[in-house]
């Protein structure tokens, strides 16, 4: 968990971890290799959801998740329908994303994480636009991902409740 005041560098650090911004010094390593040298091999293991949802509003929820599967390493054991169920969007498979509420669009954006094999989820304010129920849904996704051996790098202005002892908090304002 990355914590800190506005402007403390949380989003900048996440962008560096994603490989979309170079660090001012040092290197970011994944399995002992610089992520900038690994390129696509690193990106296959990493998924990012930022401030914006990154969904295509003219496509249906299923089409959005099909694109995510096509861009990453798809999970053979997890269908688009299962991902939609996990984020409480079951029954919305053929609904254009434009028709969803802001919270539903956010949950759709987070459902993209479920359809790929990415072990590292990098999330910048994942609870934006979510109500109390939606926050609980996402916290359960996080707990499940960690229980399956996954990793998270998360910033949030909300208190995050994840049921595991392996959460490290880094305060960039300290």
pLDDT, one tens digit for every residue, the chain (174 residues): 788 888 888 999 999 999 999 999 999 999 999 999 998 889 999 999 998 999 999 999 999 999 999 988 899 888 999 999 999 999 999 999 999 999 999 999 999 999 999 999 999 999 999 999 999 999 999 999 999 999 999 998 777 777 766 777 788 887
Please tell me the predicted confidence (pLDDT) of residue 164.
67
Please tell me the predicted confidence (pLDDT) of residue 160.
79
Please tell me the predicted confidence (pLDDT) of residue 171.
82
> Rounded CA gap, 119 and 44, in Å?
9
Burial of 28 (0-12, 13-18, 19+ CB in 10 A): middle
Q: Are 116 and 72 in contact (CB under 8 A)?
A: yes
Please tell me the predicted confidence (pLDDT) of residue 90.
97
> Rounded CA gap, 126 and 174, in Å?
23
Please tell me the predicted confidence (pLDDT) of residue 172.
85
Number of Cβ within a 10 Å radius of residue 53: 21
Instruction: Specify the pTM.
Output: 0.91
The phi-psi region of residue 69 (left if phi > 0; otherwise alpha if psi is between -120 and 50; otherwise beta) is: alpha
Please tell me the predicted confidence (pLDDT) of residue 26.
93
Please tell me the predicted confidence (pLDDT) of residue 165.
60
What phi and psi, each to the nearest 5 degrees, are found at residue 115?
-95, 0
Contacts of 159 (CB under 8 A, 6+ apart): none
Specify the DSSP class assigned to residue 2.
E
Find the CATH number of the domain harbouring 155. 3.40.50.300
Please tell me the predicted confidence (pLDDT) of residue 65.
97
How far is CA 13 from its chain centroid? 15
> What domain range includes position 117?
2-171
Please tell me the predicted confidence (pLDDT) of residue 69.
94
What phi and psi, each to the nearest 5 degrees, are found at residue 33?
-115, 140
Number of domain units in the chain: 1
């Amino acid at each position: 968990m990355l914590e800190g005041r506005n402007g403390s560098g949380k989003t900048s650090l996440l962008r560096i971890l994603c490989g979309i911004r170079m660090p001012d010094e040092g290197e970011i390593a994944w399995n002992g290799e610089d992520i900038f040298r690994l390129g696509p091999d690193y990106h296959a293991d990493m998924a990012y959801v930022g401030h914006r949802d990154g969904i295509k509003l003219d496509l249906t929820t299923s089409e959005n998740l099909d694109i995510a599967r096509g861009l990453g390493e798809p999970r053979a054991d997890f269908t688009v329908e299962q991902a939609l169920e996990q984020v409480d969007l079951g029954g919305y498979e053929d609904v254009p994303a434009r028709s969803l509420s802001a919270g539903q669009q956010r949950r759709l954006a987070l459902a993209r994480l479920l359809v790929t094999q990415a072990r590292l989820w990098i999330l910048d304010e994942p609870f934006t636009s979510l109500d109390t129920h939606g926050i609980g849904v996402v916290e359960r996704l996080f707990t499940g991902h960690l229980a399956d051996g996954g990793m998270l790098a998360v910033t949030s202005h909300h208190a995050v409740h994840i049921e595991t002892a392996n959460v490290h908090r880094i305060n960039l304002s300290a």
